[in-house]
Amino acid sequence: MKLKDESIRFLSFIIILLIVTSILTSLRIKDSQYLLTDSGVKERDLSSLRKIKSTTELLSESIYSFFFLDFGKTLTGESVNSHILERLEPTFVLSFFVILIGSFFGILFFLLVIYFNNYYFESFFLFFSKLILSTPIFLFAILLFIIFFLELGFLPPGGYERGDISYLILPGLSLGIRIVARIFIFGTEESKAEIKSPLIRILKTRGYSQNIIVFKYIFYKVLPLIIILIILDLSSLLSGAMIVEEIYFFPGIGKSTFTAIKNMDENLLRALLIYSGIIFYCMTRFARFLQFKLTNIYE
């Protein structure tokens, strides 16, 4: 029954995704002739460009592309699949870098706060976490750009080179800082609830050290929920961090999406909409499945 429900849900998601993709693509590609104004294209050659595709035509193209994984070519003549594959590597590297630093510091800070159990220490981290979550990511990106490139000149202003971690630091910090804040707030709240549980009280009365209670029992209890949080963050990172990639000229999926919108690249836009939709959907469903496995709660 659950498998049937899940299949119906996925099928209806795919149908609606393809319809929405076609509508958004048809909106974007209207009157794209002006892009060729200065290119020397002759009047008679414009006839094929003048034909504006209807949403139904675009829908059938989207269905064909989805089932045969053939998205055609980009405006520059490159295959859409190879274009996306080329950008997947930097996107994956950046996403895993962000998740690594975000989860490491987030977990470290909340464990320290729980371990030392100091009001001022906790308030300090909590204040900064809330501050971070209520500030747009691009402001951090700009501030880090000003400090580390314009002022100190330590790090490159943008771009990406395989194997060179310095290109990942600024975009990674801009994106990771929110993950640190989210994991800190979530981890602290969950751990505080856990401290009040009968198990921890018994451990305390039996004289277990704070080290063992925090780093073994509380940490292992909270970890599964933090993993779910990390998977949800990873799903949005894999869909492309458009604004940060644009600020740092990072050649990932996000920058590619922005370029596709600006250049009215129908095939690329369609492929990226379907790609980000499916990645996000599958990861969130996986996170829910994991949540069910770990907590035995299902909707």
Partner 1 sequence: MFKNTNDINLRETFCSISINHIFGCDRLGRDILTLFCYGSIVTLILAIPSKIFSIIISLILSLLTYSGGRFMGLLISSLSSVFLSIPSLLIALVVIYSLGKNFEVFLLSIVLSDWAMSYETIHSKISEISNSGYVYVSKNFGASQFYIFKNHIFPQLIPILNVLFITGIPSIIMTIAIYSYMGINFGSDTFGPGLGEQISFSRDYFHKSPLSVVLPIIGIFLLVNVFNFQEIKKKNIVN
Q: Are 251 and 160 in contact (CB under 8 A)?
A: yes
Structure tokens at 157: 């202003």
Q: Are 117 and 252 in contact (CB under 8 A)?
A: no
Of 101 and 253, the one with the shorter C-beta distance to partner 1 is 253
27 contacts partner 1 (rule: CB under 8 A) = yes
First to last CA, the chain: 13
CB of 258 to partner 1, least distance (A): 7
Cβ-proximal residues to 249 (8 Å cutoff; 6+ apart), any chain: 157, 158, 159, 255
Instruction: Say which residue the tokens 């998601």 belong to.
Output: 13
Structure tokens at 142: 């700009």
Of 203 and 243, the one with the shorter C-beta distance to partner 1 is 243
> 3-state DSSP call for residue 262?
helix
193 contacts partner 1 (rule: CB under 8 A) = no
Taking CB under 8 A as the binding criterion, the range among 52-60, 111-119, 142-150, 187-195 that sits at the site for partner 1 is: 142-150
Taking CB under 8 A as the binding criterion, the range among 45-53, 57-65, 66-74, 236-244 that sits at the site for partner 1 is: 236-244
Task: State how far the Cα of 172 lies from the Cα of 32, in Å rounded to an integer.
Answer: 35
Taking CB under 8 A as the binding criterion, the range among 105-113, 168-176, 214-222, 265-273 that sits at the site for partner 1 is: 265-273
Which of 129, 191, 256, 257 touches partner 1 (CB under 8 A)?
Answer: 257
240 contacts partner 1 (rule: CB under 8 A) = yes
212 contacts partner 1 (rule: CB under 8 A) = no
Structure tokens at 135: 């500030």
The total of other beta-carbon atoms located within 10 Å of residue 77's CB is 6
Positions in the binding site for partner 1 (CB under 8 A) = 8-9, 12-13, 15-17, 20, 24, 27-28, 30, 130, 134-136, 138-139, 142-143, 145-146, 150, 236, 239-240, 242-243, 246, 257-258, 261-262, 269, 272-273, 276-278, 280-281, 284
